[in-house]
Amino acid sequence: MPGLSEFELIETLLKPLAENAPGAFSLSDDAALLPDAQQGHGYIVTKDALAVGVHMRAEDPPGDMARKALRVNLSDLAAMGAHPVGFFMALCLGQNSDETFLRAFVTGLADDVDIFSAPLMGGDIIRHSGPFTVTITAIGSAPKGEVLRRNEAQTGDSLWVSGTIGDGVLGLMAANGELPSLSQVDQAALIERYRVPVPRLILGAELGGLATACIDISDGLVSDVGHICAASSVGCTIDAASVPLSSAATAVVSSDGLVLPTLLTGGDDYELAFAVRQGAENDVIAISEKVGVPVTRIGTFESGKGVKVFDQNGKAMAFTETGYKH
Size of the site for its own copies (CB under 8 A): 59
55 touches its own copies (CB under 8 A): yes
**What is the distance, to the nearest Å, from the Cα of residue 287 to the centroid of all Cα atoms in its chain?**
20
Helix (H) or strand (E) holding 311: none
Cβ(267)–Cβ(323) below 8 Å: yes
Between residues 113 and 121, which has the closer beta carbon with respect to its own copies?
Answer: 121
Closest by alpha carbon to 13, among 116, 113, 131, 134? 113
Beta bridge partners of 296: 161
Write out the E strands in 128-280. 133-143, 158-162, 213-216, 235-239, 272-276
What is the C-alpha end-to-end distance of the chain, expressed in Å?
A: 28
Rounded CA-CA distance 201/155 in Å is 27
β-bridge partners, 192:
none
CB of 216 to its own copies, least distance (A): 6
We find the least distance from the C-beta atom of residue 243 to its own copies, in angstroms, to be 21
Q: By CB under 8 A, which span of 118-126, 155-163, 191-199, 260-268 interacts with its own copies?
A: 118-126
Is 38 a binding residue for its own copies by CB under 8 A? The answer is no
> Is residue 198 close enough to count as binding its own copies by CB under 8 A?
no
Residue 205 sits in the site that holds its own copies (CB under 8 A) = no
Q: What's the min distance (Å) between Cβ of 73 and its own copies?
A: 9
Give the Cβ contact number of residue 292 at 10 Å: 8
Instruction: Please report how many Cα atoms fall inside a 13 Å half-sphere around the Cα of residue 147, on the Cβ side.
Output: 14
Query: If binding is defined by CB under 8 A, does position 79 make contact with its own copies?
Result: yes
Residue 59 is a binding residue for its own copies (CB under 8 A) = no
Best CA proximity match to 183, nearest among 130, 90, 258, 250: 250
Pick the piece of the chain touching its own copies (CB under 8 A) from 72-80, 108-116, 255-263, 280-288. Answer: 72-80
CB of 234 to its own copies, least distance (A): 15
Pick the binder of its own copies from 5, 12, 19, 53 (CB under 8 A).
53
Distance CA 124, CA 80 (A): 26
Binding mask 276-295 for its own copies (x = CB under 8 A): --------------------
Give me the 119-158 binding string for its own copies, x by CB under 8 A, dash otherwise: --xxxx-xxxxxx-x-x-xxxx------x-xxx-------
- Contact between 172 and its own copies by CB under 8 A: the answer reads no
CA angle 176, 182, 186 (to 5 degrees): 90
DSSP letter at 314 equals: S
| Residue 54 contacts its own copies per CB under 8 A | yes
Closest by CA to 134, choosing from 62, 42, 79, 37, is 62
Using rule CB under 8 A, residue 47 touches its own copies: yes
- Comparing CB distances to its own copies, the nearer of 232 and 262 is 232
The DSSP output letter for 52 is B
Of 4, 34, 202, 285, the residue at the interface with its own copies (CB under 8 A) is 34
Give the number of other Cβ atoms within 10 Å of residue 247's Cβ. 10
Residues within the interface to its own copies (CB under 8 A): 23, 25, 28-34, 36-37, 42-51, 53-55, 76-77, 79-80, 82, 88-92, 94, 121-124, 126-131, 133, 135, 137-140, 147, 149-151, 215-216, 231, 326
